């Protein structure tokens, strides 16, 4: 008798398990359960926090990568500018057929009182394609000191009739030239200068004794220019 009762109980348990399984696997039950869960404030808060945590981690990682990229860009720009340390650009020289740009460079240097010859010039040529404009001449000297002798005396060109509309400038990278142009547009252009490929802004400020002194800022980005506007 006891065995029969045990058998009936086992059968009832199996039937109950089957009923529960059928109920739980029905679409009506599943849809209702999903609606209950998704409407739960606890569930919504948990999902929201999980998503926020994931986004915060990605944002932090993205910020780190962006910082690393900017640092690499600055380093690459510095290396590129250093590679141009022996270069100058000459603007305003009318272009002629079969011209000798080395001779043009030597003539300008001699007009400035700097004696150089072909051996001091590594290469020189016009930049860009021919068009309705005067292409600049880029010059690469063999040594940095030769370049410095020319560029430090370039101011004398203003008083030489033949060269008064000629300009001798640093050969800037694209980034540094953009900063230079931006600074001249936003700040007092007479106070913006370039030395050895670096852009600077000089302004007067009060010293500790009530007098004035020149404060020189190294401009490396547009943001560094904007910081001086306030």
* CATH classification at residue 167: 3.30.70.1820
Residue 38: per-residue pLDDT: 72
Do 69 and 101 share a domain, yes or no?
A: no
Do 33 and 14 share a domain, yes or no?
A: yes
pLDDT in tens, the chain (230 residues): 455 555 545 455 556 676 667 766 777 767 776 777 777 777 777 778 888 888 888 888 899 999 999 999 999 999 999 999 999 999 999 999 999 999 999 999 999 999 999 999 999 999 999 888 999 999 999 999 999 999 999 999 999 999 999 999 999 999 999 999 999 999 999 999 999 999 999 988 777 776 677 889 999 999 999 999 86
Domain that holds residue 215: 173-230
Question: Is 212 part of a structural domain of the chain?
Answer: yes
Question: Is 40 part of a structural domain of the chain?
Answer: yes
Residue 136: per-residue pLDDT: 97
Question: Is 80 part of a structural domain of the chain?
Answer: no
What is the Cα–Cα distance from 109 to 101, expressed in whole angstroms? 12
Residue 41: per-residue pLDDT: 77
Do 164 and 219 share a domain, yes or no?
A: no
Do 89 and 164 share a domain, yes or no?
A: yes
Do 226 and 179 share a domain, yes or no?
A: yes
Residue 100: per-residue pLDDT: 97
Do 21 and 90 share a domain, yes or no?
A: no
Closest CA to 139 of 170, 93, 183, 176: 170
3-state secondary structure the chain: CHHHHHHHHHHHHHHHHHHHHHHHHCHHHHHHHHHHHHCCHHHHHHHHHHHHHHHHHHHHHHHHHHHHHHHHHHHHHHHHHHCCCCEEEEECCCCCCCCCHHHHHHHHHHHCCCCCCHHHEEEEEECCCCECECCCEEEEECCHHHHHHHHCCHHHHHHCHHHCCCEEEECCCHHHHHHHHHHHHHCCHHHEEEECCEEEEEEEEECCCCCEEEEEEEECCHHHHHCCCC
Do 140 and 189 share a domain, yes or no?
A: no
Decide which of 151, 171, 191 is a domain's last residue: 171
What is the Cα–Cα distance from 132 to 88, expressed in whole angstroms? 23
Do 95 and 159 share a domain, yes or no?
A: yes
Do 133 and 179 share a domain, yes or no?
A: no
Residue 33: per-residue pLDDT: 67
Count of structural domains, the chain: 3
Do 33 and 68 share a domain, yes or no?
A: yes
Decide which of 171, 206, 221 is a domain's last residue: 171
Do 177 and 162 share a domain, yes or no?
A: no
Decide which of 24, 56, 75 is a domain's last residue: 75
Whether residue 120 contacts residue 146, with contact meaning beta carbons closer than 8 Å, is answered with yes
Question: Is 23 part of a structural domain of the chain?
Answer: yes
Do 94 and 166 share a domain, yes or no?
A: yes
Residue 36: per-residue pLDDT: 75
């Amino acid at each position: 008798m006891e065995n029969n009762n045990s058998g009936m109980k086992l059968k009832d348990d199996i039937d109950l398990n089957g009923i529960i399984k059928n109920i739980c696997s029905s679409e009506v039950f599943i849809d209702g359960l999903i609606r209950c869960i998704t409407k739960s404030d606890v569930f919504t808060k948990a999902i929201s926090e999980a998503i926020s945590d994931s986004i915060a981690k990605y944002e932090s990682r993205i910020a780190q990568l962006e910082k690393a990229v900017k640092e690499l860009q600055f380093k690459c720009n510095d290396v590129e500018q250093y590679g141009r340390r022996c270069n100058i650009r000459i603007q305003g020289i009318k272009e002629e057929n079969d011209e000798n740009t080395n001779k043009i460079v030597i003539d300008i240097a001699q007009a400035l009182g700097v004696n150089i010859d072909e051996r001091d010039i590594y290469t020189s040529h016009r930049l860009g394609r021919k068009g309705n404009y005067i292409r600049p001449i880029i010059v690469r000297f063999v040594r940095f000191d030769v370049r410095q002798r020319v560029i430090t005396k370039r101011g004398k060109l203003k008083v030489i009739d033949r060269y008064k509309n000629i300009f001798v400038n640093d050969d800037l990278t694209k980034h540094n030239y953009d900063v230079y142009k931006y600074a001249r547009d936003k700040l007092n252009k007479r106070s913006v200068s370039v030395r050895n490929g670096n852009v600077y802004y000089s302004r007067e400020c009060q010293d500790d004794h009530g007098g004035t002194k020149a404060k020189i800022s190294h401009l490396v980005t547009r943001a560094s220019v904007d910081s001086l506007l306030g």
